[in-house]
Amino acid sequence: MKKLITLALLYSISTIAGAATATFTEAHNITASGVGSVGYTSFSVTSAGNFRFYTMGPTIDPFLYLANDDGDLTEDDIITSDDDNCSETLCGIAGDFYNSIIDIALGSGDYILGISDYTFSSSEFISGINNNSRTGVANIVISTAGIMDPGTFSAGANITATPLPAAVWLMGSGLLGVLGLARKNKVQAA
Ligand SMILES: [Ca+2]
Ligand SMILES: [Ca+2]
Ligand SMILES: [Ca+2]
């Protein structure tokens, strides 16, 4: 699972009170089976607020999961999921079915979204492997336009989505490798 998480782009999101509502979109090419049959979008909330997550999948019937991202995706990380609750006005049609939407208040922390074609079980979300009858490009949209608690969200907020370059991941894993090597050498020298 760790491998899939590091393959996903990482976004840092902060809400700025009073700023305009913003959205960020990541496209996933949902394949019929194997790696690629589930799309993941990882993000961090740096400032607690209300968020909206929705799908735009014109050819698949999207199903969306939201989970805490502790680096090891397990069933107990799942916060919620949705299949068909997004209006066609907001999300468009989806493979003759409907898109998904999650409106929720989140505290600061790391999270992960997973999208695939219905049916999409929690164990398939965890494993990253689903067998899909519909395939194609589907978008996960992150927005601060969540309306779960409009009383505290009237001014809107701003998402600062900063995709972490792949080089940072490579550098990170390279650094871990160097550290591991250094430790190994130390043990051998001792
Ligand atoms: Ca976990
Ligand atoms: Ca759906
Ligand atoms: Ca499926």
Domain with residue 74: its CATH number is 2.60.120.380
Euclidean distance between CA atoms 146 and 15, whole angstroms: 12
Q: Which residue has the tokens 């019937």?
A: 61
Distance 38 CA to ligand 3 centre (A): 9
Is residue 178 a part of any domain in this protein?
A: no
pLDDT in tens, the chain (190 residues): 444 443 344 455 544 444 445 678 899 999 999 999 999 998 888 778 888 999 999 999 999 999 999 999 999 999 999 999 999 999 999 988 999 999 998 888 889 999 999 999 999 999 999 999 999 999 999 887 544 333 332 223 333 343 444 444 444 455 445 445 455 555 555 4
Q: Could you tell me the residue range of the domain that residue 145 belongs to? A: 2-165
Ligand 1 centroid to residue 115 C-alpha, Å: 18
Has residue 134 been placed in a domain? yes
Cis (ω within 30 of 0) for the bond into 119?
yes
Q: What is the model's pLDDT at position 13? A: 52
Contact call for residues 141 and 134 (beta carbons, < 8 A): no
Residue 107 lies in a domain: yes
Distance 55 CA to ligand 1 centre (A): 24
Question: Is 62 part of a structural domain of the chain?
Answer: yes
Residue 157 lies in a domain: yes
**What distances in angstroms separate CA 58 from CA 93, 94, 100, 117, 131, one per listed residue?**
6, 4, 12, 11, 18
C-alpha of residue 164 to centroid of ligand 2, in Å: 29
Residue 180, domain member (yes or no)? no
Q: Which of 23, 28, 22, 58 is nearest to 41 (CA)?
A: 28
In the reported structure, the alpha carbon of residue 63 is separated from the centroid of ligand 3 by a whole-number distance in angstroms of 9
Residue 187 lies in a domain: no
Alpha carbon of 68 to ligand 1 centroid (Å): 8
pLDDT value at position 163?
A: 41
Instruction: Give domain status of residue 190, yes or no.
Output: no
Given this model, what pLDDT does residue 150 score?
A: 33
Total-model pTM: 0.70
Could you tell me the distance, in angstroms and rounded to a whole number, from the CA of residue 121 to the centre of ligand 3?
A: 8
For position 23, what pLDDT does the model report? 74
DSSP class of 164: P
Residues 6+ apart with CB under 8 A from 163: 9, 10, 11
> How many domains in the chain?
1
Q: Which ligand is nearest to the CA of 120?
A: 3
Distance 151 CA to ligand 1 centre (A): 33
